[in-house]
Structure formats: structure tokens, C-alpha cells
Chains A and B, each alone.
Chain A
């Protein structure tokens, strides 16, 4: 009977650990709920020594995961980094705390293009930190050989191009993103809800679908770098990753990416204060610290994200700061649109259509 003493030992350790797991009151800890690799270790360490506090990061890899978790009642986070449409959702649920702008003197560093987002005009709740464009990434070597254009959504929607790419194309596994691409190609807004135009987009997608390899939200990074896939619909930061991976591994081809001329989706991720946070004081200090150009450059240098901070630009590696896919020039920026949440009824109808697209 050696089982009981050992079970008791486990139980004791468990109780101890459960106690440890509860956030310790009194200690100065800032809890972040954030995307992985949005902050460099070095930056975090510098902030920790400056504020004499500890920074704890928990990660999510999807806005929807984060929202679902908060919806079900998770609390304890001081700062979140949601994307625009998710900010609106959180705002409408009264889940965010207004910012005290007197504590954020470095707000002036932000580019003027990012000061009046539709979800938070005048930045009363949000401080933009990173931007991404949903665009086309491609195997530049292959596409040059095939003589295909890389500056238009036609590449993933037109059978005359797709015939040369059969089984070598992936598109995002996201109803909103794929519909947005189709709408842009058809010359409509990404917020379009007119049933006739939805139908038009659906037909466009179904016509192209037999040529696509799969719907993919993450594996396309590896597939592009491996050479399995030649064209992918996805996020600029992912395409940058694939480009660097292929370069580092010495692949016999180059990966590149650009925004289609018809326009595309822009995503802006911002720091926001969650209502459930215990340390708004530390959170404000952290945001202002991150507004400093050298620190704000982190996210661009680490993952190839675009940057809304003007002071960050000199600190960003030139091959990133100079890439049109990551920092769209003004005429391209004007053609970008941010996604905005639909109401529940429209969401259900879109989901029904999406299911049909997936099953057909």
C-alpha cells in the first residue's frame, strides 16, 4: 500500500501550487494578454527595471479565442491587444477602461493616419501598436517563370491564372477575410451586406475553389517556405516570416508579398485597458513606455508588422521599413479598409453561406 502516502504528497503539492497560481495581491505585477512575440525580452526587462515591477504575458493567437475567453468571464488581465473590430466589440460590452491621456505624453509620436480610427475616434480607449495588411504572398521565382501578375486578386479568383496554379494556392480559413478579398476584387466595400452582392462573391469563390489546395490560417507560412504552395492569401507579417524562413534555409526561390491594387483589409492592433485589470497605473506607464520610438519598433523588427508610430521608423530595420507590403505607401493605404463586426443576424446568414462554400 504505497499509494496513499504518495497520493497525499501529490495533494499537498497541488494545494501549494493552486495557492501559488492565484494572483498574488500586493506584488507589483502587470498582466498582459497579448500575441506572442509582440514584445522583445529586452524591452520587457528594461520596463521591469524602470517600474520595479514584474510583467506577466499570457498569449492568444486569435482575436476570437481571446473574445470567447473574456465572454465566458475570464478576468485578471490589465492590458489586451485586440484588433479594430474586436475593440468595438469590447467597447460595446463596456469591457474597456478609458485612458488617462495626461499619463501618456508620448501619444504625440503616433502617425496622424492612425489617430482617428472609426472604432475609437480621438483615441479615448486605444493606443495603436501594430498594423497588418491581408494580402497575397507568393513564390516570386515560380510566378515570374509562369508569367503571372502579382498585383491583383485576380491571381486567386480568375480561372485563367489559376489553371497554372492548381493545388498551389491557399486562402484564409476566415469567412470575413475571404469575403473581403472577393468584395474588393468585385469593387465593393468589405462591409457590403447587399444579398445580391454576397451572391456575386459566393459565385466568384465557388468558381475558383476547385483550384485551391486548402483554406489555411497558419500552415501556409511553412508551405510557402517549403515550396509546396506558390500563392497564399494571408497576413503581411506571416508572409514576412515565410520570406525570412526561405531566405535563411537557402531555398532555391524567393518569397515576396504585395497589396493587390484593388485594395485590401487593414488590421490595427491596439493596447487597451481591460475593466477587470487591477493595475491601471502600471498599464498607463507601460503604454507610454511602449510609445517610445525605440520600444515601439519592437513589433516591426520581431515579426515584420507595420507600425503606427512615427518615432519608431528610424529604429526599424530598413528591409522592413522599406517593404511596401508592410508599410503601404499613401496611395495604397487609402485603398485599405478595416473590418467591422456585423450584427448577429447578418453573422448567422454569412456563416450559413460560408458553410455552403466550404461544403460544395
Chain B
């Protein structure tokens, strides 16, 4: 069941037809509709803000109007680094709480009778077919009288609520495939419930844990609506900072450079964690 990494890779590759052709359609789609527009914004981050918002003309008086000013503004000031750090802490806390809530739920669904699983999964996602704003207003009604509104705790609660399905579903997709025979064998060998979980279920579910964590941690970093609607007077996160540059402030170059620094930072972090978490497990 548990294989060294290279054999798993080989397995996956044999299970799909036509090799790299599979990757071509999504890659082309994203090259056109993500990378090309993103490069426009990378360019924008080196431009100067327009007199009345947007971007200053690239060519002015025969001189190319490009500068590192936006980046200098960011790096020349500790306060922006502080907001980045704070946002990473909020994202990490949200991810951790989501994981703790999602794991038992995903496990329970995965262990339920097969014909009921789809319904249980659907029930996880159903609340999110309603509207975001109206759910947040429901939280205001819930938290307001309890005096919990406009606190860092309310921000985390809101973040967890909004992102929980993105942890439950990847975990479920993983746990659903665990072979019950393995657990039964362990039980026959006298392993208790906790030991079975710790030595078999948990290590096998790590790819699901990583996937879910990535899909929670990363979007939380850019989120601005939750801190804006549920947070107090100090709950400013990167998302809010970026939003202010594009809207209130109409400073596109600064907004673009903040966004790009965030995106690059997140992708580096994802690469790093994928590298450090590459499977090195063997049967204990």
C-alpha cells in the first residue's frame, strides 16, 4: 500500500492516457487567462500612478516612465512587513482550526455507508450556495449580542467559517480511499483505536491535509471582506491593504506590487512546503 515516491509517480503516469497531452489544455488556458494578464500587472507595478488613478502613461516626453518606487516604498517601511506577518499568523491560525474541525467531519463521512456519503458531502457545501454577505450578516446577528463582534476572534471565526469546506472536501477525497482492511488488520494485531489512527490513518491522509491546508491558507491571505465586516479597529490584513490601494487610494502600482509580493511569497512557501513534505515515509 505504501510505496516509495518514485513508484507512486510511475503508477499515476500509467493510469492516465496520452501522457503530457493531458496537461496541455489547462496549461494553455492558464497561460492565456492567468499569466498574460498577470504579466500586465507585473508591468504595472513598475509604472507610476496616474494623476487621477490608474497608471501614468508609459512614455512621457520621450522618456520611459518606469521605476522601482513602489517596491522601495514597501521595503523602506517596517509597517508593511508587520501587516504581512500578521496576515500570515491569521492565515496559519485559520488553517489549523479548519484542520481540527474538518478532520473528524471528513473522517466520519468517509467511514459512513457508501450510499450516504454523497449526501453528507453535499450537506457540507450547501450553506455556501447561499450568499456570502447574508451569511456574514447572520454572524453579526449571532455575535453582536454576545459582545464578540469586531474582535480578532470574530475575524478568525468568520475566516474559518468561510473556508471550512475547502479543508473538508480535500480531506474527504483522501480519507474515502483508505482501505478498511488495513485498519482491521491492525486491530487484529491488537492496536487500539488511537494507535490505529496515529500510525495508519493520519500518515496516509497527509496528502489530503496538505491539499486542504493550501486551499485554506492561500485564499485567507488575500481575503479582505471578513476583516472589514467582522474585525475591530486593529484588524487590518494584507487583503485590506491591497484593496485600499486599488480603490480608496487609486494607487495601482503600489496595489500591484503588494499583490505580486504576496503571490510570489505564497508560491515560494508552497514550493518550500511541498519540498519539505515530500513523502519520506516507510511502513513503521
Contact = CB atoms under 8 A, between A and B. Distances in A.
**In the complex, A touching B (Cβ < 8 A):** yes
Interface of A: 62, 64-65, 67-68, 71-72, 88-89, 92-93, 167, 173-176, 209-210, 212-215, 217, 219, 222-223, 226, 228, 341, 343-344, 347-348, 350-352, 354-356, 358-360
Contacts of A68: 53, 246-247, 250
Interface residues of B, number: 40
B233 A89 contact: no
Contact of A347 (B79, B140, B250): B250
B233 A215 contact: yes
B251 A214 contact: no
B43 interface: no
Contacts of A65: 247
Q: Which of A217, A354, A355, A360 has the most CB of B within 10 A?
A: A355
26 contacts: A68-B53, A174-B248, A175-B248, A175-B249, A213-B149, A213-B232, A219-B137, A219-B229, A226-B141, A226-B144, A343-B51, A344-B51, A344-B251, A347-B250, A348-B73, A348-B249, A351-B248, A351-B251, A355-B79, A355-B80, A356-B79, A358-B234, A358-B236, A359-B79, A359-B83, A359-B234
A222 B53 contact: no
B53 A71 contact: yes
A88 B140 CA distance: 37
B127 interface: no
A344 B48 contact: yes
Contacts of A356: 79
Chain A residues touching B, majority SS: helix
B245 interface: yes
A355 B83 contact: yes
A92 B51 contact: yes
Contacts of B275: none
- Minimum-distance CB pairs A-B, first 7: A64-B247, A71-B54, A214-B150, A358-B236, A89-B52, A344-B49, A228-B144
A351 B53 contact: no
B77 A352 contact: yes
Contacts of B149: 213, 228
Interface in B235-269: 236, 240-241, 244-252, 254
B246 to A, nearest CB: 6
B232 A351 contact: no
B176 interface: no
Interface in B146-164: 147, 149-150
Nearest to A88: B52
A224 B234 CA distance: 21
B146 to A, nearest CB: 11
A339 to B, nearest CB: 12
Contact of B52 (A62, A92, A217, A219): A92
Interface string B44-84: 00001111111000000000000000000100010110110
Contacts of A344: 48-51, 251
A215 B54 CA distance: 26
Nearest to A67: B53
Nearest to B52: A89
Nearest to B149: A228
Given A215-B233, A359-B82, A347 B247 contact: no
A212 B246 CA distance: 26
B233 A219 contact: no
Given A344-B50, A359-B83, 10 more contacts: A67-B250, A68-B247, A72-B54, A176-B248, A347-B49, A348-B254, A351-B251, A354-B244, A355-B241, A355-B244
